[in-house]
Amino acid sequence: MARYHMETYGCTSNRGESREIERRLRDAGHYRVDGAEEADVAILNTCTVVEKTERNMLRRAEELAEETADLFITGCMALAQGEEFAKADVDGRILHWDEVPEAVTNGECPTTTPDAEPVLDGVVGILPIARGCMSDCSYCITKHATGKIDSPSIEENVEKARALIHAGAKEIRITGQDTGVYGWDEGERKLHRLLDRICDIEGDFRVRVGMANPKGVHGIREELAAVFAENEELYDFLHAPVQSGSDDVLGDMRRQHQVQEYLEVVDAFDEALDYWTLSTDFIVGFPTETDHDHEQSMALLRETRPEKLNVTRFSKRPGTDAADMKGLGGTIKKERSKEMSAEKREIVGEAYADMVGERREDCLVVEDGTADSVKCRDSAYRQIIVRNASDHGIEPGDFVDLEITAHETMYAFGKPRS
């Protein structure tokens, strides 16, 4: 759980990107504070429209770098002239807008607040099914806030899901620090049973399952994959953060799972589903990560080819055991992160390129995008943008059949089939 300070400069489009960053940070349980000095991380969303703005951005970045532990610089100047910040010796990381939420998260699980009530955001309903986890990751500060898993009953969660659907939710996002261990405190992992019951609720909706650590899902992998195969309400999407391809590093991270268990989860889903999205996370540059460990992570990435991937460069969080370890140099972390991010772009880009020319039935229009576009999700939670939405008469909450016409690295473009 991080406290963040955010500043945005420039045009409406930049402000729209900041809104999206904030939405994702809020979904993950991070919260905004007033002033960089109060924050764990500062985010500077830059503009570079004229020279004077450029000078202001550099000055502001220098000030923020002094005031906070971590500075993330994004936006137009960061992406077009990122080297200017390095030349000015600003201690900050240049990131694409999309990369900021994961960087803030630092590899930790999202934070759900105790007794959090379901929230409706447009047609998206957020449903925290439990709080806490069963782990003690050495780099994580979230666990100090959330404690061990505390799971409300299946009935209670089904009622919350039903209330969201009645209130107009078309996409239910199931969240928690670790949804895979839901029920463990009562002696039984029962995520699969909960999902089955939610899918029985009457109505047209989709369910996305977030953050299920490999150890938790490993023991129920076959039952869980079967529930995904049987229920079309469930997006065929699994977020199982592996964090490293080296068992030694996983041990030092105290992640509880080993690489083999992660692979067995992936195998179970491969066997049950023809078309699905594997989402995972890697932390690069953990203090004890050797070149060989990093190579093992790269090999695991190439072997499993996740269609969605978050790469986080390790950074120390106060009060954690990993903060006391002797860290790797910034250059090593940067190089490893660059290498993995380049591989990610290739793997994810290929997944989206493969979709071009295909058709996707019943895609859910989830939210408005920029300039009269809408963002849709297909059955595997792949993102498809439809431009000129008003000409097609489609809006959030609709289900549409799409033909995929083009792609970018992280999403596809589609048009409604007539």
What whole-number distance in Å separates Cα of residue 316 and Cα of residue 327?
9
CB of 39 to ligand SF4, least distance (A): 20
What whole-number distance in Å separates Cα of residue 261 and Cα of residue 256?
10
CB of 247 to ligand SF4, least distance (A): 17
Query: By CB under 6 A, is residue 143 in contact with ligand SF4?
Result: yes
Would you list the DSSP string of 217-247?
HHTTHHHHHHHHHH-TTB-SEEE---B-S-H
CB of 221 to ligand SF4, least distance (A): 18
Query: By CB under 6 A, is residue 171 in contact with ligand SF4?
Result: no
Query: By CB under 6 A, is residue 133 in contact with ligand SF4?
Result: yes
Query: 253-292: which residues touch ligand SF4 (CB under 6 A)?
Result: none
What whole-number distance in Å separates Cα of residue 341 and Cα of residue 291?
16
User: Nearer Cβ to ligand SF4, position 172 or 250?
Assistant: 250
Query: By CB under 6 A, is residue 252 in contact with ligand SF4?
Result: no
CB 8 within 8 A of CB 15: yes
Which residues is 391 bridged to in the sheet?
none
| Beta strands per DSSP E along 24-142 | 31-32, 41-46, 70-75, 93-94, 119-121, 124-128
Q: Interhelix angle for 259-272 vs 291-304, to 10°? A: 10
Residue from 17, 27, 99, 108 that binds ligand SF4 (CB under 6 A)? 108
Q: Measuring CA to CA, which residue among 140, 269, 162, 143 is closest to residue 217?
A: 269
User: 357 φ, ψ to 5°?
Assistant: 95, -10
User: 22 φ, ψ to 5°?
Assistant: -65, -40
Q: CB under 6 A: which stretch of 117-125, 133-141, 244-252, 313-321 binds ligand SF4?
A: 133-141
Query: By CB under 6 A, is residue 317 in contact with ligand SF4?
Result: no
User: Nearer Cβ to ligand SF4, position 199 or 322?
Assistant: 322
What whole-number distance in Å separates Cα of residue 376 and Cα of residue 230?
22
Query: By CB under 6 A, is residue 138 in contact with ligand SF4?
Result: no
User: Nearer Cβ to ligand SF4, position 75 or 132?
Assistant: 132
Q: CB under 6 A: which stretch of 38-46, 130-138, 297-305, 370-378 binds ligand SF4?
A: 130-138
Q: CB under 6 A: which stretch of 13-21, 94-102, 140-148, 314-322 binds ligand SF4?
A: 140-148
Q: Is 176 exposed, middle or buried (CB count within 10 Å of its CB: 0-12, 13-18, 19+)?
A: buried
Query: By CB under 6 A, is residue 177 in contact with ligand SF4?
Result: yes
Residue from 8, 213, 246, 304 that binds ligand SF4 (CB under 6 A)? 213
Query: By CB under 6 A, is residue 136 in contact with ligand SF4?
Result: yes
Residue from 135, 310, 312, 379 that binds ligand SF4 (CB under 6 A)? 135
Query: By CB under 6 A, is residue 109 in contact with ligand SF4?
Result: yes
Query: By CB under 6 A, is residue 175 in contact with ligand SF4?
Result: no
Q: CB under 6 A: which stretch of 115-123, 129-137, 217-225, 340-348 binds ligand SF4?
A: 129-137
| CA within 13 Å, CB half, 173 | 22
CA distances from 279 to 152, 252, 381 (A): 26, 23, 10
Interface residues with ligand SF4 (CB under 6 A) are 108-109, 133, 135-137, 140, 142-143, 177-178, 213
